[in-house]
Amino acid sequence: MIENNGVVLVLSGPSGAGKSSLINKIADDIGEFYFSISTTTRPMRKGEEEGVHYHFVSEDEFKKDIEDEHFLEYALVHGNYYGTSLKPVKEALSEGKLVIFDIDVQGNTAIKNRLGDITTSVFITPPTLSELKRRLEKRCTDTPEVIENRIQMARREIQRTTEYDFLVINDDLDVAADVLRQIAITARLKIPQDRINFFVQKWEDIEE
């Protein structure tokens, strides 16, 4: 019997797609997991907390961590840096947890390059661009200029959905949550390549 593995679930999609709402709906149904909290140079928004939503640092601190290779992945998005610290991810994987990332398409590529054999990726999006714009305007957290930047980014990101294992269209939150719940549970069944190789070596137990 092969022991439980630490595996990765990558969630990407435009801001306003409902990723956080979906995670909250399925959190009690997918077993023990670690939600990777990104580090960012973006200013803290109203209602956000340090260490809960992001780790907020200065640009100088962030660049120092880049030099010291402390990030699994990082990207410059809308003029601010976002990155994923390696240490807590490694710890969670060693404990057999499902590690969930909420990252952009650049981050997905970086994680696939580093952890591809244990990674399941999901692109989450509203059904249309106009619906995305409506949601961004409704939440009243961004200026019109920022909303326009997010829309333009979404136009580019949607062209890369074929790089993901699954596409979840978040039109109805409950339906989308059911789909994502099944994906998360299935993701836990992935086995890293080194353990597959070990199993194959042990499997042939009949001497010629």
Dump pLDDT digits (tens) for 134-148: 999 888 777 888 889
Every domain of the chain and the residues it spans? 7-193
- Contact present, 129 and 136 (Cβ < 8 Å): no
CB-based contacts of 204, cutoff 8 Å, min separation 6: none
Tens digits of per-residue pLDDT, 57-100?
Answer: 999 999 999 999 888 888 888 899 988 888 888 889 999 999 99
How many other β-carbons are positioned within 10 Å of the β-carbon of residue 109? Answer: 17
Superfamily of segment(s) 7-193: P-loop containing nucleotide triphosphate hydrolases (3.40.50.300)
- Contact present, 112 and 22 (Cβ < 8 Å): no
5: pLDDT strictly greater than 80:
no
Residue bearing the bigger pLDDT, 149 or 208:
149
Tens digits of per-residue pLDDT, 151-197?
Answer: 999 999 999 999 999 999 999 999 999 999 999 999 999 988 888 89
Token output for 60: 């100088």
Tens digits of per-residue pLDDT, 31-46?
Answer: 999 999 889 999 998 8
